[in-house]
Structure 1
Amino acid sequence: MTDTLDRTELTARLSEQFDALADLVSGLDENRWRTPSPLPGWTVFDVLSHVIGTESLLLGDEPPARDPQSPDIDVETLPHVRNEIGVLNEIWVQRLRPRPGAELLDLYREVTGRRRAALGAMDDAAWTTPSPSPIGEVPYARFMRVRLFDCWMHELDIADALGEQVDEGGTRGELAFAEFARSLPRVVAKRGKAPAGSLITLELTGPLARTLHIEIGDRARYTEAPAGEPTVRVELDSGLLVRLGGGRVDAESALDRITFRGDSGLGHQVVRNLAFTI
């Protein structure tokens, strides 16, 4: 599992991710733009609006003014808005929602074009400078890997909504998964309540196939050389794992796609408590 934070590599993959999202929605008619996504309350249109909002904020842009013909919604009252980041995301989504899809795509291309230029103008010092992010204050490089992961996940959201297949592997997928996987030991221990002394092995198939051994001790951590047999081995597709971790798929509906070997009770407990992303 790569932990690359190289500026040239990561900015190139983020640029590719911007293109992948644009390609996925190019040519949609207005009905398809408004297809419900796996994210509560959001359509395909709203998912791309969210990406525009985040990248615009990184450029220092303010949300557009509310269309006077649109309802004045207190976004804090919406059931899918749970925190301050969610409030800010929803403001952008609500403000952009009245626009037609083609106009939204034009705005997306304009904003991501400016973001590419801004990233290209950064030097190594700026790349390592601490920056506020959804995961706390981290070097700007790490924040950009979080951005790659977020945009990659939203590519999957849009593809799933539209019934389209996209490449979930490759270098972009590897970098996005590296960011996702950093949280898994903590999630397995705290949310999944895996007991101390247990070893949980995730045997992943699919585009990001790999074996992950998570050892629960004083702290949960990955190990490449487990001391014994896993307490439970959980076998599932890498795409399913990511969607479970992202809260996009309900675990109960996916149990027939998962195999448990060993302590299946613990395995079920872990799988039912994987959702952790904002």
Structure 2
Amino acid sequence: MPIHPAPPTDLPGLVNAFAHTGQAVTDLGRGLTDEQLALPTDCPGWTVKDHVSHVVAVESHLEGLPEPHVDVPGYDHVRNDLGRFMEVGVEARRSRAGVDVVRELEYVLGRRVATVGSPGLELDSIVAGMQDRPTTIGELLRMRTMDIWVHEQDIRAALDEPGNLDSPAAAVFVASAVRTVPQAIARRAEVPIGDTVILELTGPVTARIGVRVEDGTEEDPRPHGVVLFGGEGDQQSSGNTTTTMRAIDPNTQITTAKLSTSAFGRLAAGRRSVDEVTYTVAGGDEDVARRVLASLRFTP
């Protein structure tokens, strides 16, 4: 089945997805008490307020606004240069009142939506990305939409306020994550050559992808995943796919794992382990299913 609801692919749709999840973070932040803002989240070392600060900091950077210069302590959760770069904006706002950070987000987000929606821009227009590296506006919007949506879900999980699991931003995240599934299954999950895995997202964003693991080539000897059906491009997957595949190859081992959009998002974002989410194995090898689910992380 194709991803449903389908992710936006045109520039107005991507701008809307970006603005929608950014506004959701702003709306969630309004009215929170200091205790709520200080709640820990699934993102190691960060509170609810820190997530708001991170979104503000990145969008301010992309908008070209003056950036703070602070020293980042040797936090355990800061493990590389990228993490240190991302921590600067968060650290700079730790001493500020949460209500001020939320107001800053509202201001910066308004500027960013106007900037990325500027007349004359097209999907392949070149703009400045993170650390001023050039990228296309389409790719930048996809990356920022995914990142903000993940942080929105971090905040929602901490506050126990689920939502926006069927939003355009959720569909953008799912589509990008699903594209990484074939290689994750073949190379990180160590699924045996010749076996097939079916991964099904039960909703609110639904998707279904079947991947068979095959031998590598002389040029790349690593195993690779062959997509049998599913993902954004599949429009015809229906009926009993398992029966059809066994008719083609009666010896294939088929493992099917099913989970919700929320569980998939937490795994793909690296926020929770397999033991911390709910899933079902509808057939095949339970150990293979666990390894597949544990391999889904695709964010830095």
- TM-score (structure 2 length as normaliser): 0.81
The answer to whether the 8 Å contact 2:7/2:171 transfers is: no
1:199 & 1:44 partners in 2: Cα distance? Answer: 40
Alignment of 1:257-276 (within 5 A): 257-276=279-298
Alignment of 1:115-130 (within 5 A): 115-121=112-118, 123-125=120-122, 127-129=124-126
Structure 2 CA distance for partners of 1:84 and 1:180, relative to 1, 3 Å: same
Structure 2 CA distance for partners of 1:223 and 1:129, relative to 1, 3 Å: farther
Measured after TM superposition, the shift of residue 162 of structure 1 is: 0.6
Q: Which has a greater percent of helix? A: 1
2:276 & 2:123 partners in 1: Cα distance? Answer: 44
Return structure 1 stretches of 4+ with deviation > 6 angstroms: none
Question: Is 1:98 aligned to 2:95, yes or no?
Answer: yes
Corresponding residue SS for 2:204: coil
Aligned residue number for residue 69 of structure 1: none
User: Percent of aligned positions with the same letter in both sequences?
Assistant: 28
* Farther-moved stretch of structure 1 (136-145 vs 177-186): 136-145
The answer to whether the 8 Å contact 1:7/1:127 transfers is: no
The one-letter code of the counterpart of 2:163 is V
Gaps of 5+ in 2: 217-223, 230-236, 247-252
Aligned residue number for residue 270 of structure 2: 247
Supply the RMSD in Å over aligned alpha carbons. Answer: 2.4
- TM-score (structure 1 length as normaliser): 0.87
Corresponding residue SS for 1:121: coil
Aligned residue number for residue 88 of structure 1: 85
Measured after TM superposition, the shift of residue 24 of structure 1 is: 1.3
2:157 & 2:18 partners in 1: Cα distance? Answer: 21
Q: Deviations over 1:109-136 (max 9, x none)?
A: 11111101111215335743376569x9
Aligned residue number for residue 215 of structure 1: 212
The answer to whether the 8 Å contact 1:146/1:179 transfers is: no
The one-letter code of the counterpart of 1:166 is G
Question: Is 1:44 aligned to 2:61, yes or no?
Answer: no
Structure 2 CA distance for partners of 1:126 and 1:264, relative to 1, 3 Å: closer
Alignment of 1:12-91 (within 5 A): 12-66=16-70, 73-74=72-73, 77-91=74-88
2:167 & 2:12 partners in 1: Cα distance? Answer: 17
2:148 & 2:288 partners in 1: Cα distance? Answer: 32
Q: Which has the larger radius of gyration?
A: 2
Corresponding residue SS for 1:36: coil
1:111 & 1:129 partners in 2: Cα distance? Answer: 21
Q: Deviations over 1:163-186 (max 9, x none)?
A: 112130133321221122222222
Corresponding residue SS for 1:233: strand
The answer to whether the 8 Å contact 1:236/1:259 transfers is: no
Gaps of 5+ in 1: 67-71
Question: Is 1:161 aligned to 2:158, yes or no?
Answer: yes
1:58 & 1:145 partners in 2: Cα distance? Answer: 14
1:222 & 1:26 partners in 2: Cα distance? Answer: 44
